[in-house]
Amino acid sequence: MRSRRWNPRVLGLVILWAAVGAIASAQAPEPAPDKAVTVLQAGRLLDVRQGRILENVVIVVRGEKIEAVGPAGQVRVPTDARIFDLSRATVLPGLIDMHTHLTGEPRYIGYSALGLSVPRQALIGAKNARLTLMAGFTTVRDVGASGYTDVALRDAIEAGDLPGPRMVVSGPALGITGGHCDESLLPPEYRHQAEGVADGPDAVLRKVREVIKYGANVIKVCATGGVLSKGDNPEVYEFNEDELRVIVQEAHKLGRKVAAHAHGRAGILLAVRVGVDSIEHGSYIDDEAVRLMREKRVYLVPTLYLADWFMENAPKLQIPPFIMEKARKVMPAARQNIRRAFQMGVPVAFGTDAAVYPHGLNAREFAVMVHLGLTPLQAIQAATIHAAELLGWSDRVGTLEPGKYADIIAVEGNPLEDVMVLQRVQFVMKGGHVYRNDFGGPIEVGR
Protein backbone atom coordinates (compact mmCIF):
# COMPACT_ATOMS: atom_id res chain seq x y z
CA MET A 1 0.00 0.00 0.00
CA ARG A 2 1.41 3.40 -1.04
CA SER A 3 2.06 5.90 1.79
CA ARG A 4 0.33 9.25 1.45
CA ARG A 5 2.58 12.22 0.65
CA TRP A 6 1.52 15.62 1.90
CA ASN A 7 2.02 18.75 -0.14
CA PRO A 8 4.67 20.71 1.87
CA ARG A 9 2.66 23.95 1.67
CA VAL A 10 -0.51 22.26 2.95
CA LEU A 11 1.41 20.50 5.72
CA GLY A 12 3.03 23.79 6.72
CA LEU A 13 -0.34 25.50 7.01
CA VAL A 14 -1.74 22.64 9.11
CA ILE A 15 1.19 22.87 11.52
CA LEU A 16 1.00 26.66 11.56
CA TRP A 17 -2.66 26.86 12.49
CA ALA A 18 -2.26 24.16 15.10
CA ALA A 19 0.44 26.31 16.70
CA VAL A 20 -1.68 29.44 16.49
CA GLY A 21 -4.57 27.64 18.15
CA ALA A 22 -2.37 26.36 20.96
CA ILE A 23 -0.90 29.81 21.65
CA ALA A 24 -4.16 31.71 21.35
CA SER A 25 -6.12 29.30 23.52
CA ALA A 26 -4.32 30.74 26.53
CA GLN A 27 -5.64 34.19 25.64
CA ALA A 28 -9.06 33.62 24.10
CA PRO A 29 -12.06 33.74 26.45
CA GLU A 30 -14.36 30.84 26.98
CA PRO A 31 -17.67 31.35 25.14
CA ALA A 32 -20.02 33.37 27.31
CA PRO A 33 -23.14 31.55 28.46
CA ASP A 34 -26.22 32.80 26.63
CA LYS A 35 -27.68 34.25 29.83
CA ALA A 36 -24.52 35.78 31.36
CA VAL A 37 -25.25 39.40 32.32
CA THR A 38 -22.85 42.33 32.32
CA VAL A 39 -23.75 45.90 33.29
CA LEU A 40 -21.80 48.97 32.23
CA GLN A 41 -22.31 52.10 34.33
CA ALA A 42 -21.31 54.88 31.95
CA GLY A 43 -20.70 58.49 32.93
CA ARG A 44 -21.53 59.54 29.37
CA LEU A 45 -22.85 57.83 26.25
CA LEU A 46 -22.53 59.16 22.71
CA ASP A 47 -25.75 58.70 20.76
CA VAL A 48 -24.20 58.52 17.28
CA ARG A 49 -27.55 58.89 15.53
CA GLN A 50 -28.55 62.15 17.19
CA GLY A 51 -25.10 63.44 18.05
CA ARG A 52 -25.98 63.85 21.71
CA ILE A 53 -24.01 63.09 24.85
CA LEU A 54 -26.27 61.39 27.41
CA GLU A 55 -25.27 61.49 31.07
CA ASN A 56 -25.24 58.70 33.66
CA VAL A 57 -26.35 55.78 31.47
CA VAL A 58 -26.64 52.07 32.23
CA ILE A 59 -26.13 49.39 29.56
CA VAL A 60 -27.26 45.85 30.27
CA VAL A 61 -25.61 43.12 28.19
CA ARG A 62 -26.95 39.58 28.15
CA GLY A 63 -24.69 37.09 26.40
CA GLU A 64 -23.36 38.77 23.26
CA LYS A 65 -26.21 41.27 22.78
CA ILE A 66 -27.32 44.52 24.34
CA GLU A 67 -30.52 43.99 26.33
CA ALA A 68 -31.24 47.49 27.64
CA VAL A 69 -29.86 51.04 27.51
CA GLY A 70 -31.17 53.94 29.55
CA PRO A 71 -30.71 56.43 32.38
CA ALA A 72 -29.47 55.06 35.68
CA GLY A 73 -32.43 54.48 37.95
CA GLN A 74 -34.72 53.62 35.04
CA VAL A 75 -32.93 50.44 33.95
CA ARG A 76 -33.21 47.38 36.18
CA VAL A 77 -29.83 45.94 37.08
CA PRO A 78 -29.98 42.14 37.52
CA THR A 79 -28.67 40.98 40.86
CA ASP A 80 -26.31 38.42 39.28
CA ALA A 81 -24.71 40.89 36.87
CA ARG A 82 -21.02 41.69 36.60
CA ILE A 83 -20.74 45.47 36.92
CA PHE A 84 -18.11 47.64 35.26
CA ASP A 85 -17.68 51.18 36.52
CA LEU A 86 -17.16 53.48 33.53
CA SER A 87 -18.38 56.57 35.36
CA ARG A 88 -15.29 58.52 34.25
CA ALA A 89 -15.72 57.54 30.62
CA THR A 90 -17.68 58.24 27.46
CA VAL A 91 -18.95 55.06 25.84
CA LEU A 92 -19.80 54.68 22.17
CA PRO A 93 -20.27 51.86 19.66
CA GLY A 94 -17.28 49.79 18.65
CA LEU A 95 -15.61 51.42 15.66
CA ILE A 96 -15.68 49.98 12.13
CA ASP A 97 -12.78 50.22 9.66
CA MET A 98 -13.95 49.52 6.12
CA HIS A 99 -10.51 49.24 4.49
CA THR A 100 -7.87 47.13 6.19
CA HIS A 101 -5.28 44.54 5.21
CA LEU A 102 -4.64 42.74 8.49
CA THR A 103 -2.21 40.23 6.96
CA GLY A 104 0.06 42.99 5.61
CA GLU A 105 2.52 45.46 7.13
CA PRO A 106 4.39 48.56 5.93
CA ARG A 107 7.76 46.83 6.13
CA TYR A 108 6.57 44.57 3.29
CA ILE A 109 5.98 47.20 0.61
CA GLY A 110 7.71 46.71 -2.72
CA TYR A 111 10.30 43.98 -3.28
CA SER A 112 10.46 42.93 0.37
CA ALA A 113 6.97 41.46 -0.03
CA LEU A 114 8.33 38.80 -2.41
CA GLY A 115 9.96 36.98 0.50
CA LEU A 116 6.77 36.79 2.56
CA SER A 117 5.15 33.36 2.66
CA VAL A 118 1.45 32.68 3.03
CA PRO A 119 1.91 31.09 6.50
CA ARG A 120 3.91 34.13 7.61
CA GLN A 121 1.14 36.43 6.42
CA ALA A 122 -1.35 34.44 8.45
CA LEU A 123 0.67 34.93 11.63
CA ILE A 124 1.08 38.63 10.90
CA GLY A 125 -2.71 38.78 10.61
CA ALA A 126 -3.17 37.13 14.01
CA LYS A 127 -0.99 39.80 15.62
CA ASN A 128 -2.66 42.68 13.78
CA ALA A 129 -6.18 41.47 14.51
CA ARG A 130 -5.45 41.77 18.21
CA LEU A 131 -3.86 45.22 17.83
CA THR A 132 -6.86 46.44 15.86
CA LEU A 133 -9.37 45.15 18.40
CA MET A 134 -7.46 46.69 21.31
CA ALA A 135 -7.54 50.04 19.48
CA GLY A 136 -11.34 49.97 19.61
CA PHE A 137 -12.14 48.64 16.14
CA THR A 138 -14.53 45.77 16.75
CA THR A 139 -15.42 45.26 13.06
CA VAL A 140 -13.30 45.53 9.92
CA ARG A 141 -13.70 44.95 6.22
CA ASP A 142 -10.48 43.37 4.95
CA VAL A 143 -10.09 44.07 1.24
CA GLY A 144 -7.30 42.06 -0.33
CA ALA A 145 -5.12 39.25 1.01
CA SER A 146 -2.97 36.50 -0.50
CA GLY A 147 -3.68 32.83 -0.07
CA TYR A 148 -7.08 33.46 1.52
CA THR A 149 -5.25 34.28 4.75
CA ASP A 150 -8.01 36.78 5.55
CA VAL A 151 -10.61 34.01 5.31
CA ALA A 152 -8.60 31.82 7.68
CA LEU A 153 -8.12 34.72 10.08
CA ARG A 154 -11.84 35.56 10.07
CA ASP A 155 -12.75 31.94 10.74
CA ALA A 156 -10.20 31.61 13.56
CA ILE A 157 -11.58 34.72 15.26
CA GLU A 158 -15.16 33.50 14.88
CA ALA A 159 -14.17 30.13 16.37
CA GLY A 160 -12.66 31.86 19.41
CA ASP A 161 -9.13 30.69 18.60
CA LEU A 162 -7.69 34.20 18.89
CA PRO A 163 -8.85 37.74 19.69
CA GLY A 164 -9.75 40.09 16.86
CA PRO A 165 -12.52 42.15 15.29
CA ARG A 166 -15.47 40.86 13.34
CA MET A 167 -14.23 40.52 9.77
CA VAL A 168 -15.82 40.86 6.36
CA VAL A 169 -13.20 39.65 3.88
CA SER A 170 -12.57 39.65 0.15
CA GLY A 171 -9.85 37.08 -0.38
CA PRO A 172 -7.64 38.05 -3.36
CA ALA A 173 -8.55 41.34 -5.01
CA LEU A 174 -9.66 41.07 -8.64
CA GLY A 175 -7.49 42.80 -11.21
CA ILE A 176 -6.29 42.76 -14.81
CA THR A 177 -3.03 41.29 -16.10
CA GLY A 178 -0.30 43.81 -15.30
CA GLY A 179 -2.62 46.02 -13.27
CA HIS A 180 -2.49 47.26 -9.70
CA CYS A 181 -3.76 43.96 -8.28
CA ASP A 182 -1.39 41.80 -10.30
CA GLU A 183 2.21 41.05 -9.24
CA SER A 184 4.59 42.98 -11.49
CA LEU A 185 7.82 42.86 -9.50
CA LEU A 186 9.12 39.53 -10.81
CA PRO A 187 10.81 39.17 -14.21
CA PRO A 188 8.95 37.36 -17.04
CA GLU A 189 10.75 34.02 -16.68
CA TYR A 190 8.80 33.44 -13.46
CA ARG A 191 5.48 33.65 -15.34
CA HIS A 192 3.86 34.71 -12.08
CA GLN A 193 0.36 36.10 -11.80
CA ALA A 194 -1.62 37.19 -8.75
CA GLU A 195 -4.50 34.97 -7.64
CA GLY A 196 -7.24 37.47 -8.46
CA VAL A 197 -6.20 38.25 -12.03
CA ALA A 198 -8.75 37.67 -14.79
CA ASP A 199 -9.25 39.18 -18.25
CA GLY A 200 -12.49 39.24 -20.25
CA PRO A 201 -16.12 38.83 -19.17
CA ASP A 202 -16.06 35.02 -18.98
CA ALA A 203 -12.88 34.93 -16.91
CA VAL A 204 -14.00 37.60 -14.44
CA LEU A 205 -17.32 35.79 -14.00
CA ARG A 206 -15.45 32.63 -13.02
CA LYS A 207 -13.14 34.59 -10.73
CA VAL A 208 -16.03 36.14 -8.80
CA ARG A 209 -17.50 32.68 -8.28
CA GLU A 210 -14.11 31.29 -7.29
CA VAL A 211 -13.35 33.79 -4.53
CA ILE A 212 -16.87 33.38 -3.16
CA LYS A 213 -16.39 29.60 -3.24
CA TYR A 214 -13.34 29.98 -1.02
CA GLY A 215 -14.97 32.27 1.51
CA ALA A 216 -15.20 35.89 0.32
CA ASN A 217 -17.93 38.02 1.94
CA VAL A 218 -17.25 41.00 -0.33
CA ILE A 219 -15.68 41.42 -3.75
CA LYS A 220 -12.69 43.77 -4.01
CA VAL A 221 -11.94 44.95 -7.54
CA CYS A 222 -9.13 47.15 -8.82
CA ALA A 223 -10.86 49.59 -11.14
CA THR A 224 -7.78 51.79 -11.66
CA GLY A 225 -4.06 51.64 -11.22
CA GLY A 226 -2.57 52.24 -7.80
CA VAL A 227 0.32 53.81 -5.94
CA LEU A 228 2.11 50.87 -4.31
CA SER A 229 2.60 48.92 -7.53
CA LYS A 230 4.88 48.86 -10.55
CA GLY A 231 4.03 49.72 -14.13
CA ASP A 232 0.48 51.03 -13.73
CA ASN A 233 -1.08 54.49 -13.58
CA PRO A 234 -3.47 55.50 -10.75
CA GLU A 235 -5.36 57.82 -13.12
CA VAL A 236 -6.09 55.13 -15.72
CA TYR A 237 -9.03 52.74 -15.45
CA GLU A 238 -8.18 49.05 -15.81
CA PHE A 239 -11.18 46.72 -16.22
CA ASN A 240 -13.29 47.58 -19.26
CA GLU A 241 -16.95 48.40 -18.73
CA ASP A 242 -18.22 44.98 -19.82
CA GLU A 243 -15.81 43.23 -17.45
CA LEU A 244 -16.62 45.46 -14.52
CA ARG A 245 -20.35 45.18 -15.13
CA VAL A 246 -20.17 41.37 -15.08
CA ILE A 247 -18.26 41.45 -11.79
CA VAL A 248 -20.83 43.68 -10.13
CA GLN A 249 -23.85 41.82 -11.48
CA GLU A 250 -22.52 38.41 -10.45
CA ALA A 251 -21.42 39.60 -7.02
CA HIS A 252 -24.81 41.18 -6.32
CA LYS A 253 -26.63 38.12 -7.60
CA LEU A 254 -24.67 36.03 -5.11
CA GLY A 255 -25.32 38.44 -2.26
CA ARG A 256 -21.95 40.18 -2.10
CA LYS A 257 -21.20 43.88 -2.26
CA VAL A 258 -18.39 45.28 -4.40
CA ALA A 259 -15.62 47.58 -3.17
CA ALA A 260 -13.75 49.30 -6.01
CA HIS A 261 -10.20 50.51 -5.58
CA ALA A 262 -10.31 53.65 -7.72
CA HIS A 263 -8.02 56.68 -7.76
CA GLY A 264 -8.64 58.21 -11.19
CA ARG A 265 -11.75 60.13 -12.22
CA ALA A 266 -12.58 57.89 -15.20
CA GLY A 267 -12.34 54.73 -13.13
CA ILE A 268 -14.45 56.20 -10.34
CA LEU A 269 -17.22 57.21 -12.76
CA LEU A 270 -17.16 53.87 -14.55
CA ALA A 271 -17.32 51.90 -11.31
CA VAL A 272 -20.19 53.98 -9.94
CA ARG A 273 -22.17 53.72 -13.19
CA VAL A 274 -21.99 49.92 -13.25
CA GLY A 275 -23.18 49.69 -9.64
CA VAL A 276 -20.31 49.20 -7.19
CA ASP A 277 -21.14 49.81 -3.54
CA SER A 278 -18.07 51.80 -2.51
CA ILE A 279 -15.15 53.68 -3.96
CA GLU A 280 -11.91 53.09 -2.08
CA HIS A 281 -9.42 55.99 -1.96
CA GLY A 282 -11.06 58.24 -4.60
CA SER A 283 -7.97 60.42 -4.98
CA TYR A 284 -9.10 62.22 -8.16
CA ILE A 285 -12.81 62.39 -7.34
CA ASP A 286 -14.55 65.38 -8.93
CA ASP A 287 -17.92 67.13 -8.72
CA GLU A 288 -19.56 64.89 -11.32
CA ALA A 289 -18.49 61.78 -9.44
CA VAL A 290 -19.74 63.17 -6.13
CA ARG A 291 -23.14 63.99 -7.60
CA LEU A 292 -23.43 60.49 -9.07
CA MET A 293 -22.34 58.86 -5.82
CA ARG A 294 -24.91 60.87 -3.87
CA GLU A 295 -27.62 59.87 -6.34
CA LYS A 296 -26.77 56.17 -6.21
CA ARG A 297 -25.81 56.14 -2.48
CA VAL A 298 -22.30 54.89 -3.26
CA TYR A 299 -19.92 55.41 -0.35
CA LEU A 300 -16.49 56.99 -0.55
CA VAL A 301 -14.01 55.22 1.71
CA PRO A 302 -11.15 57.74 1.88
CA THR A 303 -7.81 56.55 3.25
CA LEU A 304 -6.07 59.76 4.27
CA TYR A 305 -3.80 59.48 7.31
CA LEU A 306 -1.60 56.96 5.50
CA ALA A 307 -0.08 59.82 3.47
CA ASP A 308 1.28 61.46 6.64
CA TRP A 309 2.81 58.28 8.02
CA PHE A 310 4.06 57.00 4.67
CA MET A 311 5.89 60.15 3.60
CA GLU A 312 7.49 60.53 7.03
CA ASN A 313 8.67 56.92 7.20
CA ALA A 314 9.39 56.12 3.55
CA PRO A 315 13.16 56.71 3.78
CA LYS A 316 13.70 53.97 6.36
CA LEU A 317 11.33 51.57 4.55
CA GLN A 318 13.44 51.59 1.37
CA ILE A 319 10.44 52.26 -0.85
CA PRO A 320 11.23 51.78 -4.58
CA PRO A 321 11.54 55.03 -6.57
CA PHE A 322 8.63 54.19 -8.88
CA ILE A 323 6.32 54.07 -5.85
CA MET A 324 7.67 57.30 -4.38
CA GLU A 325 7.16 59.11 -7.68
CA LYS A 326 3.49 58.19 -7.70
CA ALA A 327 3.00 58.86 -3.98
CA ARG A 328 4.34 62.41 -4.24
CA LYS A 329 1.76 63.15 -6.90
CA VAL A 330 -1.32 61.22 -5.78
CA MET A 331 -1.34 61.77 -2.02
CA PRO A 332 -1.49 65.61 -2.06
CA ALA A 333 -4.10 65.52 -4.85
CA ALA A 334 -6.25 63.21 -2.75
CA ARG A 335 -6.33 65.69 0.16
CA GLN A 336 -7.45 68.52 -2.11
CA ASN A 337 -10.11 66.56 -4.02
CA ILE A 338 -11.56 64.78 -1.00
CA ARG A 339 -11.86 68.06 0.89
CA ARG A 340 -14.10 69.25 -1.95
CA ALA A 341 -16.05 65.97 -1.92
CA PHE A 342 -16.69 66.37 1.82
CA GLN A 343 -17.97 69.90 1.21
CA MET A 344 -20.39 68.54 -1.42
CA GLY A 345 -21.79 65.90 0.92
CA VAL A 346 -20.47 62.68 -0.59
CA PRO A 347 -21.55 59.64 1.47
CA VAL A 348 -18.55 58.68 3.61
CA ALA A 349 -17.58 55.46 5.36
CA PHE A 350 -14.45 55.25 7.49
CA GLY A 351 -11.41 53.41 6.12
CA THR A 352 -7.67 53.51 6.70
CA ASP A 353 -5.72 51.13 4.43
CA ALA A 354 -3.95 49.97 7.58
CA ALA A 355 -0.93 47.93 6.43
CA VAL A 356 0.42 50.93 4.55
CA TYR A 357 1.01 52.15 8.11
CA PRO A 358 1.05 50.13 11.36
CA HIS A 359 -2.13 48.49 12.55
CA GLY A 360 -3.51 49.86 15.79
CA LEU A 361 -3.09 53.47 14.67
CA ASN A 362 -6.38 53.38 12.74
CA ALA A 363 -8.04 56.12 14.81
CA ARG A 364 -5.55 58.70 13.57
CA GLU A 365 -7.72 58.84 10.45
CA PHE A 366 -10.40 60.78 12.37
CA ALA A 367 -8.25 63.89 12.84
CA VAL A 368 -7.45 64.09 9.12
CA MET A 369 -11.12 63.74 8.20
CA VAL A 370 -11.97 66.60 10.56
CA HIS A 371 -9.08 68.69 9.24
CA LEU A 372 -10.51 68.28 5.72
CA GLY A 373 -13.95 69.51 6.70
CA LEU A 374 -16.05 66.87 8.46
CA THR A 375 -17.32 67.57 11.95
CA PRO A 376 -16.19 65.17 14.67
CA LEU A 377 -19.71 63.72 14.71
CA GLN A 378 -19.68 63.15 10.94
CA ALA A 379 -16.31 61.41 11.17
CA ILE A 380 -17.57 59.17 14.00
CA GLN A 381 -20.78 58.40 12.09
CA ALA A 382 -18.61 57.34 9.14
CA ALA A 383 -17.07 54.70 11.45
CA THR A 384 -20.36 53.60 13.00
CA ILE A 385 -23.79 54.00 11.41
CA HIS A 386 -22.56 54.67 7.87
CA ALA A 387 -20.01 51.86 7.90
CA ALA A 388 -22.68 49.52 9.26
CA GLU A 389 -25.01 50.52 6.41
CA LEU A 390 -22.31 49.86 3.81
CA LEU A 391 -21.66 46.45 5.34
CA GLY A 392 -25.37 45.65 5.32
CA TRP A 393 -25.09 45.16 9.08
CA SER A 394 -27.20 48.02 10.41
CA ASP A 395 -29.24 45.49 12.40
CA ARG A 396 -26.11 44.20 14.16
CA VAL A 397 -23.53 46.93 14.76
CA GLY A 398 -22.99 50.69 14.59
CA THR A 399 -25.19 51.86 17.49
CA LEU A 400 -25.76 51.04 21.15
CA GLU A 401 -29.33 49.76 21.00
CA PRO A 402 -31.13 46.69 22.35
CA GLY A 403 -30.73 43.68 20.08
CA LYS A 404 -27.38 44.80 18.64
CA TYR A 405 -24.07 43.10 19.37
CA ALA A 406 -22.50 44.36 22.59
CA ASP A 407 -19.57 45.95 20.74
CA ILE A 408 -18.75 48.87 23.03
CA ILE A 409 -15.71 51.07 23.60
CA ALA A 410 -14.95 53.81 26.11
CA VAL A 411 -12.63 56.80 26.23
CA GLU A 412 -11.92 59.61 28.64
CA GLY A 413 -13.10 62.97 27.38
CA ASN A 414 -15.69 64.02 24.82
CA PRO A 415 -14.97 62.88 21.24
CA LEU A 416 -17.37 65.52 19.89
CA GLU A 417 -15.07 68.19 21.31
CA ASP A 418 -11.78 66.44 20.66
CA VAL A 419 -11.92 63.57 18.16
CA MET A 420 -8.34 62.68 19.01
CA VAL A 421 -9.46 61.03 22.26
CA LEU A 422 -10.45 58.09 20.02
CA GLN A 423 -6.74 57.41 19.64
CA ARG A 424 -6.70 56.50 23.34
CA VAL A 425 -9.39 53.86 23.74
CA GLN A 426 -9.36 52.47 27.28
CA PHE A 427 -12.18 49.93 27.29
CA VAL A 428 -13.11 47.39 24.61
CA MET A 429 -16.02 44.96 24.66
CA LYS A 430 -16.88 42.79 21.68
CA GLY A 431 -19.87 40.50 21.76
CA GLY A 432 -20.21 40.82 25.53
CA HIS A 433 -16.55 39.91 26.23
CA VAL A 434 -14.29 42.52 27.79
CA TYR A 435 -10.93 42.55 26.02
CA ARG A 436 -9.54 45.75 27.49
CA ASN A 437 -10.31 47.70 30.66
CA ASP A 438 -7.86 50.40 31.70
CA PHE A 439 -10.39 51.84 34.14
CA GLY A 440 -9.86 48.96 36.59
CA GLY A 441 -11.69 45.69 37.03
CA PRO A 442 -11.50 42.31 35.31
CA ILE A 443 -10.67 41.61 31.71
CA GLU A 444 -11.14 38.31 29.91
CA VAL A 445 -8.23 38.41 27.46
CA GLY A 446 -4.70 39.20 28.57
CA ARG A 447 -2.51 41.66 26.69
- Annotated catalytic residues are 220, 353
Task: Report how far residue 199's alpha carbon sits from residue 177's, in angstroms, rounded to the nearest whole number.
Answer: 7
Between CA 228 and CA 101 the distance in angstroms is: 14
User: 3-state DSSP call for residue 92?
Assistant: strand
Residues 6+ apart with CB under 8 A from 269: 288, 289, 292
Q: How far, in Å, CA of 256 to CA of 317, rounded?
A: 36
CA nearest 250: which of 301, 204, 296?
Answer: 204
What is the DSSP annotation of 114-177?
GG--HHHHHHHHHHHHHHHHHTTEEEEEE---GGGHHHHHHHHHHTTSS---EEEE-SSPBB-T
Q: How far is CA 32 from CA 41, 62, 147, 160, 235, in A?
A: 20, 9, 32, 11, 49
What's the rounded Cα separation, in Å, for the pair 176 and 204? 9
What is the H or E stretch that residue 211 is in? Answer: helix 201-213
Half-sphere exposure of 201 (CA within 13 A, CB side): 6
What does the alpha-carbon distance between residue 18 and residue 30 come to, in Å, rounded to a whole number?
A: 18
Q: Distance from first CA to last CA of the chain, Å, rounded? A: 50
Provide DSSP, 285-347.
--HHHHHHHHHHTPEEE---HHHHHHHHHHHHHT--HHHHHHHHHHHHHHHHHHHHHHHTT--
The whole-angstrom separation of Cα 161 and Cα 18 is 10
Distance (Å, whole) CA 267 – CA 352: 20
Query: Rounded to whole angstroms, what are the CA distances from 388 to 155, 280, 298?
Result: 20, 16, 14
Region for residue 358 given its phi and psi (left: phi exceeds 0; alpha: psi -120 to 50; beta: otherwise): beta
